[in-house]
Amino acid sequence: MGLSIGQVAERTGLSVHALRFYEREGLLADPVRRESNGRRVYTEDDVDWLAMCIKFRSSGMPLDTIRRYTDLVRQGAGNEADRLELLRSHRAAVEAQIRDLENCLAVITHKVTIYEEHLADGTAYCLWVPPEQQTDPAAW
């Protein structure tokens, strides 16, 4: 039933180093149980929790904030409003990030289009001919 750190690494995609690091950093709801010999034994819940941490991380939540969330959960019932606030503000941050990326994407796509046209109609190699065009931002 219990999982070794290696198995958890395999399932989560985190390295064993990262798993120990996350634990030291207080990102796990409770310090992982140990066998008599001191080895870590993870539960499925631990893996689920880690999966959530990974979602948080990969959406840009700093470890510090994950730790704050973890602390709230560890403290138990009574602070659900705080957790909600943290989640909501992260959601807003993610939404902002997506908007920002979409904006960047539009710019990049525009540039891709310009280059595709240049290359398709063979004008690419003429760009340098009229010196003025060398500094035309569209040709960057």
Partner DNA sequence: ACTTGACCTAGACAGCGCTCTAGCTCTTAG
Partner DNA sequence: CTAAGAGCTAGAGCGCTGTCTAGGTCAAGT
Query: What residues line the site for DNA (CB under 7 A)?
Result: 4-7, 9, 14-18, 20-21, 34, 37-40, 57, 62-64
User: Which CB, 6 or 45, lies closer to its own copies?
Assistant: 45
Cβ proximity to DNA, 59 vs 109, nearer residue: 59
Q: Residue 17 touches which of DNA, its own copies, none (CB < 5 to 8 A by kind)?
A: DNA
Minimum Å gap between C-beta 54 and DNA is 9
Copy the structure tokens of residue 18: 């990262």
Minimum CB–partner distance for residue 79 and DNA (Å):
22
Q: Which is nearer to its own copies, 37 or 125 (CB)?
A: 125
